[in-house]
């Protein structure tokens, strides 16, 4: 993604969210859009495919809190600056050169502002005085004669849900140059960025090469949904199973179903937990969370209807909504 896009594109508007949306709500909203516009759900629809790419690009920036913070700060400075190619070696770098270096577009040397304030001072204040990647951690840019770090390259890849959970080594083919094998770690999440050190552009003067930043898009699964390290699945049960209790089968991701006990009187919405059957990463393992959904029969035979009416007559005359209505009235 070109750095100029950070000025030109309003990623919040593209996703249809406010700028103060929480990371959790942003994630939920993006998942909803991804399901709506995913090419697998819209075969042959070029407009839906273009929209999917557009929202994926926006999410790749806003899903990461640090990248989102940088994006907000850059957008707050206005869209008047433009990004140009770096000047000849030894020439003074312009404003666009400084920001070009920030986003892997090459960069110029130190330049003083109108009041004697250097741009590295400005950027140091913007990012909390930490190392911004333009020079040493003590602040300032490298001298004009120092080695120049190569530019970062960016790439995107789309993975199946199961592949993202298990991890895999994939092959990337740049437009020019040899292919690159990339090991995608187990448990990679939608919108996550993987930085491959030294896989970017070589330095033009003997410095360190740039990095390759790979943004991962994960296709939604028709059954499972990821919640951190946990996997969620909705499991329908019959009215009789929920009322009297039963042992049911629950699907697992890429494996055989497991058997779970539904206690008598289980209401719709209760969550049953299967330990260790979620997402496994270097940070730990999650669980499978099965949410019970009581399935109401849509058709009844005459005998079944008569028996159900007899059951209703035998039940106490209670209104399950009475307490809810009383609370609403205050």
pLDDT at residue 261, as a whole number:
96
Count other C-beta atoms under 10 Å from residue 102's C-beta: 18
Which CATH number belongs to the domain containing residue 247 in this structure?
2.60.260.20
- Could you tell me if 214 and 236 lie in one domain? no
Per-residue pLDDT of the chain in tens (330 residues, 90 and over written 9): 434 567 678 889 999 999 999 998 998 998 889 888 888 788 888 888 889 888 888 888 898 888 888 888 877 765 444 444 344 444 444 444 434 444 444 444 444 444 444 444 444 444 444 433 333 333 334 445 578 899 998 888 899 999 999 998 988 877 767 788 888 899 999 999 999 898 888 888 888 999 989 999 999 999 999 999 999 999 999 999 999 999 999 999 988 999 999 999 999 999 999 999 999 988 889 999 999 999 988 888 989 889 988 988 898 888 888 888 999 998
* Residue of 248, 285, 286 lying closest to 270 (CA atoms): 248
Question: Does 126 map to a domain?
Answer: no
In-domain check, residue 274: yes
* CB hemisphere CA count around 326 (13 angstroms): 5
Would 96 be classed as within a structural domain? no
The rounded distance, in Å, linking the Cα atoms of 91 and 144 is 8
- CA–CA distance, 72 with 181 (Å, rounded to integer): 33
Tell whether pTM > 0.75: no
- Token readout for 188 is 């990679």
* Residue 204: Cβ-neighbour burial (10 angstroms; 0-12, 13-18, 19+): middle
pLDDT of residue 34: 87
Domain around 194: 153-218
Domain shared by 199 and 242, yes or no: no
Write out pLDDT tens, residues 104-132.
444 444 444 444 444 444 444 444 444 33
Domain presence at residue 139 = no
């Amino acid at each position: 993604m070109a750095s100029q896009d950070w000025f030109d594109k309003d990623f919040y508007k593209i996703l249809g969210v406010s700028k103060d949306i929480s990371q959790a709500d942003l994630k939920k909203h993006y998942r909803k859009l991804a399901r709506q516009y995913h090419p697998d759900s819209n075969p042959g629809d070029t407009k839906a495919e273009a929209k999917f790419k557009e929202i994926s690009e926006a999410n790749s920036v806003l899903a990461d809190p640090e990248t989102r913070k940088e994006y907000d700060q850059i957008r707050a400075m206005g869209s008047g600056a433009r990004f140009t190619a770096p000047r000849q070696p030894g020439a003074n770098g312009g404003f666009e050169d400084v920001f070009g270096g920030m986003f892997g577009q090459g960069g110029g040397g130190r330049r003083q502002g109108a009041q004697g304030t250097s741009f590295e001072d400005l950027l140091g204040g913007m990012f909390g005085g930490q190392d911004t990647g333009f020079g040493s951690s003590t602040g300032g840019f490298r001298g004009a004669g120092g080695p120049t770090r190569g530019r970062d390259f960016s790439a995107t890849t789309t993975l199946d849900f199961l592949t993202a959970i298990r991890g895999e080594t994939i092959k990337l083919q740049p437009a020019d140059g040899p292919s690159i094998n990339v090991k995608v770690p187990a448990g990679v999440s939608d919108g996550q960025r993987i930085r491959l050190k030294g896989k970017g552009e070589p330095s033009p003067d003997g410095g360190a090469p740039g990095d390759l930043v790979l943004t991962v898009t994960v296709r939604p699964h028709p059954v499972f949904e990821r919640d951190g390290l946990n996997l969620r699945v909705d499991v329908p049960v019959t009215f009789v199973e929920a009322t009297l209790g039963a042992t049911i089968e629950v699907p697992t991701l890429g494996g055989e179903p497991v058997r779970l006990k539904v206690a008598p009187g289980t209401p719709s919405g209760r969550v049953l937990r299967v330990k260790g059957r979620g997402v496994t990463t270097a940070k730990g393992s999650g669980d499978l969370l099965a949410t019970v959904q009581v399935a109401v029969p849509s058709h009844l035979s005459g005998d079944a209807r008569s028996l159900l009416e007899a059951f209703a007559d035998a039940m106490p005359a209670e209104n399950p909504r009475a307490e809810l209505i009383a609370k609403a009235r205050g």
